[in-house]
């Protein structure tokens, strides 16, 4: 069946990104499909493109519960997000809770989602999966900032809008505390030129000034305290590290990895534990499955690798909110 494919591409996502986007467009045309390339120039463009596609396709945005149907799939329409995890997140927020399918072309810094889905970085192979792959209904995480007077302004790399109530979807994870503050500290443009080095440099700077407030996490009605957390929707983190081995993209669950120590040396131990797959053996962590999580206190938040805002926040599962091709 001939498809109309919108290729939303971030030419700044990685080395030779624009060349790969153009290569993908040529392959799609050679497969006999119509393709329209939409290139982003700034943060937020990918989401705007996706929302415009949804609007022009006459798609109604709905909420779904208890594995209900997403309705008739736009089988002749496909959106391919070409970039990194941040680009995917923007496109997801543009087409979430619609019946428009989405596929990915990995071009970014860490490509966590691509590793989770086993999508190769080879352009032709990734495009073939996008065109011929199976469409699965997957749930999303949804995070809402609880209104509060903020003493800190969001940085330029934030997706936070100027309102008292901000809600966004995520597919990978939400990092709260050390993780969020590390992303908060990344200088604009540095990520583009130094890739993973931007995260490492900011992580070291964050460690030197680390003086967090205590946070309260309430998970499905049960509470505990900690200083940092990674709320996982999928198993992998920061590349190919499995931080939540029980998490699966097809499960309607979140997995919370909560760190109870504020000590700088313990932060290094947590990081080392994640790298060596020993983090779940530590006695000063909580690892728990949940569907609803509320976080009280003051801490920075990142979602899917990009800065989001400040706690307090509420995190929940939205079943069957995305049609994902892989």
Domain boundaries, the chain: 4-133, 141-320
* pLDDT confidence tier of residue 72, bands split at 50, 70 and 90: very low
* More confidently predicted of 189 and 63: 189
- The single residue listed with the structure tokens 């938040």 is 301
User: 286 - beta bridge partners?
Assistant: 258
Which three-class secondary structure state does DSSP give residue 253?
Answer: coil
What CATH code is assigned to 141-320?
Answer: 2.60.200.40
pTM (predicted TM-score): 0.88
Q: How far apart are CA 53 and CA 236, in angstroms?
A: 30
- With a cut of 60, say whether residue 44 has pLDDT above it: yes
The class (CATH top level) of 4-133 is: alpha beta
| Residue with the larger pLDDT of the pair 146 and 191 | 146
| pLDDT value at residue 59 | 67
Q: How far apart are CA 217 and CA 230, in angstroms?
A: 12
């Amino acid at each position: 069946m001939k498809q109309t494919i919108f290729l939303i591409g971030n030419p700044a996502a990685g080395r030779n990104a624009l060349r790969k986007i153009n290569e993908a467009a040529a392959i799609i045309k050679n497969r006999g499909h119509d393709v329209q390339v939409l290139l982003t120039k700034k943060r937020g463009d990918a989401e705007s493109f996706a929302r415009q596609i949804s609007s022009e396709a006459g798609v109604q945005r709905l909420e779904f519960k208890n594995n209900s149907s997403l309705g008739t799939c736009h089988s002749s329409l496909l959106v391919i997000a070409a970039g990194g995890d941040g680009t995917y997140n923007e496109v997801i927020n543009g087409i979430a809770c619609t019946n428009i399918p989405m596929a990915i072309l990995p071009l970014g810094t860490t490509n966590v989602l691509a590793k989770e889905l086993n999508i190769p970085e080879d352009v032709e192979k990734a495009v073939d999966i996008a065109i011929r792959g199976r469409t699965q209904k997957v749930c999303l995480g949804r995070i809402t900032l609880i209104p509060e007077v903020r003493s800190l302004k969001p940085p330029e790399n934030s997706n936070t809008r100027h309102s008292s109530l901000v809600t966004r979807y995520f597919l990978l994870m939400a990092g709260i505390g050390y993780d969020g503050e590390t992303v908060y500290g990344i200088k604009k443009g540095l990520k583009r030129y130094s890739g993973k080095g931007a995260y490492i440099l900011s992580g070291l700077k964050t460690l030197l000034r680390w003086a967090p407030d205590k946070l309260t996490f309430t998970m499905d009605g049960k509470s505990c305290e900690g200083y940092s957390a990674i709320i996982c929707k999928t198993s992998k983190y920061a590349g190919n590290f499995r931080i939540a081995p029980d998490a699966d993209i097809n499960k309607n669950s979140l997995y919370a990895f909560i760190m109870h120590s504020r000590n700088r040396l313990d932060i290094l131990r947590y990081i080392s534990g994640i790298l060596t797959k020993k983090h779940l053996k530590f006695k000063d962590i909580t690892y728990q499955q949940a569907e609803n999580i509320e976080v009280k206190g003051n801490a920075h938040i990142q979602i899917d690798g990009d800065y989001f805002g400040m706690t307090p926040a509420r995190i929940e599962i939205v079943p069957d909110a995305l049609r994902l091709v892989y």
